[in-house]
Amino acid sequence: MNLSNEALSAVIGAIMPPVISLVNQHVENHKARYWIAQATCVVVGVVITVLTGQLEPNDFIKSTLLVITTANVTYKNFWQEQ
């Protein structure tokens, strides 16, 4: 099965909240946690783009924004305590 850059970014973004939680588990500062989460998503978006071989600047932007957006939506809907 050959997933497109966008589909792969959305799927990986959906599973990012637990990964981000592991990365941030020892960080107390809320602002630092936010920026670490965003940086993690950017790195993942860039890696996805490189691995799929779509190296145009727009592909980097789309992949990164999809990972960030999907991770945030998944976190808000399934992980964040209400």
Q: Residue 66: which of 2, 1, 14, 18 has the closest Cα? A: 14
CA distance 35 to 41: 10
Reading the block at residue 49, the tokens are 């783009």
Domain housing 20: 5-76
Number of domains observed in the structure of the chain? 1
- Where the chain has pLDDT below 70, the residues are 1-2, 82
Whether 66 is covered by a domain: the verdict is yes
81 occurs within a structural domain? no
The pLDDT, as a whole number, for residue 2 is 61
Assess if residue 57 is contained within a domain: yes
Q: Is position 82 within any domain?
A: no
Tell me if 69 is assigned to some domain: yes
Which residue's structure tokens are 């990964």?
19
Measured from the Cβ of residue 70, the count of other Cβ atoms closer than 10 Å reads: 20
pLDDT at 1: 47
